Amino acid sequence: MKKLVVFTGAGVSAESGIQTFRDSDGLWEKHRIEDVATPEAWNKNKKLVLEFYNHRRKQVVHASPNAAHIAIAKLESSFSTHVITQNIDDLHERAGSKNVLHLHGEIRKARSSVDPSLIYNIDGEDILEGQTCELGSQLRPHIVWFGEFVSELDVAADIMAEADYLIVVGTSLAVYPAAGLIHHVSPSCKKYLIDPKAGHDVRGFTIIQKEAGIGMPELMALLLEVK
C-alpha cells in the first residue's frame, strides 16, 4: 500500500461548526492568545483559561464529523494512512480514522500540571479549579500552549518523511514548529493543499481552492482511481 499523510488544521473542522483561529470571525479575533493559551496566562488566571477550554470542549462534544473527515477516513482502506492534526477536537477519530497524531493536544483530555505523563479522559466534562491529579496538583487542559514543547514533532517528521502522498487541509501554516513539518516529505511525494483561501506560498503543491467538505471528497475519489 502507498503511504498517505493527511496534515490538518482548523479549516477541516470549520464545516462542523468549530471556529478557525485566524479567519475574520476566528477565535483569536475574540480572545488574546496571551490571555488564554500560554503558560503565563495559566499562572496568572487559571479560572479564565479553564473557562475558555471548558467552552471549547462543549462545542467539540456537540459537533459532528463532516464530509472531509469522512473522506479522509475512507482513504484508509486503500492507503496506509496517518492523520497528523493540529486540531484538538476528536472529529477525525469519530469519522473512523485510526492513526491520528495530535500535535497540539486533545480537548477531551485533562492532564496533571506537574507530571505531563498523567493524562485523563474527561469526555465532555469541565475542568474546575481545585480538581487535582493523583499527585494533588491542579488539572489543566491537555493542550500544547504557545511557548510549550511539541512533544510529537519528531514522530510526525518521521511519518512525513515516508509519505508517497501528502494532503494538507485547512491550515494557514502560520504556526511553527507544526507548519515546518511539510518540508520533511521526500522530493518524490505528491502534494495537495485544500483551502478555499489558499494563498500560501507552497511550491510543488497542487492547490485545490475549495472548502474541505467539497475538495476532500473530490480528491479522495481521484486518489482512489490512481492508487
Which DSSP string do the residues of 179-194 spell out, in sequence order? GGGGGGS-TT-EEEEE
Q: How far is the CB of 88 from ligand OAD (least distance, A)?
A: 7
Q: By CB under 6 A, tell whether 73 contacts ligand OAD.
A: no
Rank residues 2 and 153 by Cβ distance to ligand OAD and give the closer one: 153
Q: Which residues, listed in sequence order, are joined to residue 190 by a DSSP beta bridge?
A: 165
User: Does 15 interact with ligand OAD (rule: CB under 6 A)?
Assistant: yes
Of 223, 75, 72, the closest CA to residue 87 belongs to 72
Stretch that binds ligand OAD, among 14-22, 40-48, 92-100, 155-163 (CB under 6 A): 14-22
Size of site (CB under 6 A) for ligand OAD:
26
Crossing angle for the helix pair 67-74 and 212-226, nearest 10 degrees?
20
- Name which position in 14, 18, 84, 139 contacts ligand OAD (CB under 6 A): 14
Question: Can residue 174 be called a binding residue for ligand OAD (CB under 6 A)?
Answer: yes
Query: Which one-letter amino acid corresponds to residue 205?
Result: F
Catalytic residues: 104
Q: Is 35 in the site for ligand OAD (CB under 6 A)?
A: no
DSSP, res 137? P
Q: How far apart, in whole angstroms, are the C-alpha atoms of residue 68 and residue 143? A: 24
- 10 contacts ligand OAD (rule: CB under 6 A): yes
Residue closer to ligand OAD by CB (options 37, 219) is: 37
Give residue 78's region: left, alpha or beta (phi > 0; psi -120 to 50).
alpha
C-alpha cell of residue 225: 482511481
Nearer to ligand OAD, 11 or 65 (CB): 11
The SS3 of residue 68 is helix
Contact positions vs ligand OAD (CB under 6 A): 9-11, 14-15, 20-23, 26, 37, 86, 104, 144, 146, 170-172, 174-175, 194-197, 211-212
